[in-house]
Amino acid sequence: MSSTRSTSSTRWIESLSPWPADGFGLERMRALLAALGDPQERYPAIHVVGTNGKSTTTRMTEELLLDAGLSVGAYLSPHVRGWSERIRIGGAEADFEAAVAAVRPAAEALGATQFESLTAAALHAFAEEGVDVAVVEAGLGGRYDATNVLCSRVVVLTNVAFDHMDVLGETREEIASEKLAVVRPGCTVVTGDEEWRGLAEENGAASVVAAGYSNLALAVAAAEAFLGRPVDPHAAEHVELAGRLERRGEHPLELWDGAHNLAALGYLLPRLPEREYVLVCSILRDKRPALMVEALSVLGGTFVATQSSAARCLPAPELAKLADAHFERVEALADPHVARRRALDLAGRDGAVLVTGSLYLLTELSGPDDQP
Q: How many residues does the chain have?
A: 372
pLDDT score, position 5: 45
Q: How far apart are CA 329 and CA 300, in angstroms?
A: 10
Residue at 178: amino acid letter = E
Q: What is the pLDDT of residue 242?
A: 83
Q: 156 and 282 in contact (C-beta within 8 Å)?
A: no
pTM listed for this prediction: 0.82
Q: Which of 346, 336, 342 is nearest to 369 (CA)?
A: 336
pLDDT in tens, 71-118: 999 999 988 888 999 999 999 999 999 999 999 999 999 999 999 999
Note the pLDDT of residue 266.
86
Q: Check residue 262 and give its pLDDT.
A: 87
Tens of pLDDT, residue by residue, the chain (372 residues)? 444 444 588 999 999 988 777 777 899 999 999 999 999 999 999 999 998 889 999 999 999 999 999 999 999 998 888 899 999 999 999 999 999 999 999 999 999 999 999 999 999 999 999 999 999 999 987 889 999 999 999 999 998 875 544 445 568 888 888 899 999 999 999 998 888 899 999 999 999 999 988 889 999 999 999 999 999 999 998 888 888 888 988 999 999 998 888 888 988 999 999 999 999 999 999 888 999 999 999 999 999 999 998 888 999 999 999 999 999 999 999 999 999 999 999 999 999 999 999 988 998 998 655 444
Strand order in the sheet with 133-137: 92-93, 87-89, 72-75, 133-137, 45-49, 152-157, 188-191, 207-210
- Give the span between the Cα atoms of 356 and 86, in whole angstroms: 21
- From the list 253, 139, 132, 142, the residue with the least C-alpha distance to 189 is 142
From residue 162, give the alpha-carbon distance in Å to each of 159, 167, 173, 233, 260.
10, 11, 10, 30, 11
The pLDDT value given to residue 170? 67
Question: CB of 168 within 8 A of CB of 178?
Answer: yes
pLDDT by residue (tens digit) across 181-225? 999 999 999 998 888 899 999 999 999 999 988 889 999 999 999
